[in-house]
Amino acid sequence: MLSIRNIVKQYAGHTALSGVSLEIESGQIFGLLGPNGAGKTSLIRIINQITAPDSGEVYFNGTKLNQQHIERIGYLPEERGLYKKMEIGEQMIYLARLKGLNRAEAIKRLKVWFAKLGMETWWKLKIEELSKGMQQKAQFVATVLHEPDLIILDEPFSGFDPVNAEIIKDEILALNKQGATILFSTHRMESVEELCHSIALLNLSQKILDGKVKDIRKSYRNSTYQIEYQGEKLYFDGNMPFTIIEENIGDEDSFKIKIKLNDGASANEVLQYLLPKTSVNLLQEVIPSMNEIFIEQVNLIR
């Protein structure tokens, strides 16, 4: 879908992107992560052809990015904004027409979207008459009205209350199911794990990590397990195949321990060791969350 090759972008005095390459496959939900100032917005602006890179290329479905592709991309910037004094209906139609949709088609689709999101009565309202959350909803509709193949969302959930955030999340998933590729930039890690198939992590103008979420988390496995058992508190003699990282008292006579396997040991050996001594409620591998990976990676570079 999108192939970003060796992008360099410099502004006077600082480098925003130094040789970033990414592959975003069609039909994916791709998360672009990174702390503030890592270069996410610069990269997104290049994909949107708002600015051009100093060197490097972007390919859209195999052809070099050009003006024609603008109509295939929908963009929701982090800093939201619409014409305050313009009626919503007219404004949505205007924005869709700028993306190449004709007026009749825009009206037709807008009616569908307004009905779906409960906005039918807003048509004649001016943006300044809406609440922040309502404005965000309107802007989301403006982003996807022309049914783009690639939807770029910069912090899509900021500014939404939990109910509306859920609605928007469902709409994003539905659009993805219909075939749209979604690139979203965020620092809310929960939504990354929940939504994204793949991610790339940018820090200090460089890509420091990318791949499928599952693979990345797997590669960060460190033989850590969570165990919950019931009965008497166990006292360990030192012959167990693991070391204890954390010990907690759970509720209703249960105890929780976090362990790290000794080299070469397996989860089965842990069970073999524990089963004669107590009744095990739970044994689960602890895979680091994206949040932990994110913080670890960013701190590593710093």
Name the segment binding other proteins (CB under 8 A); options: 41-49, 161-169, 183-191, 287-295.
41-49
Pick one of 14, 36, 63, 81: the residue that binds other proteins (CB under 8 A): 81
Q: How far is the CB of 215 from other proteins (least distance, A)?
A: 32
Q: How far is the CB of 194 from other proteins (least distance, A)?
A: 27
- State the binding string over 129-168 for other proteins (x if CB under 8 A, else -): ----------x--x--------------------------
Q: How far is the CB of 97 from other proteins (least distance, A)?
A: 6
Contact between 77 and other proteins per CB under 8 A: yes
Task: Please state the φ and ψ torsions of residue 15, each to the nearest 5 degrees.
Answer: -100, 125
Contact between 50 and other proteins per CB under 8 A: yes
Which residues inside 1-20 make contact with other proteins, applying CB under 8 A?
12
Name the segment binding other proteins (CB under 8 A); options: 51-59, 115-123, 189-197, 199-207.
51-59
Q: How far is the CB of 102 from other proteins (least distance, A)?
A: 10
Name the segment binding other proteins (CB under 8 A); options: 69-77, 199-207, 213-221, 240-248.
69-77
Contact between 105 and other proteins per CB under 8 A: no
* Residue 227, number of CB atoms within 10 A of its CB: 22
- What distance in Å separates the CA atoms of residue 225 and residue 237, rounded to the nearest whole number? 19
Which residue, among 36, 58, 62, has the nearest Cα to 45 in the 3D structure?
Answer: 58
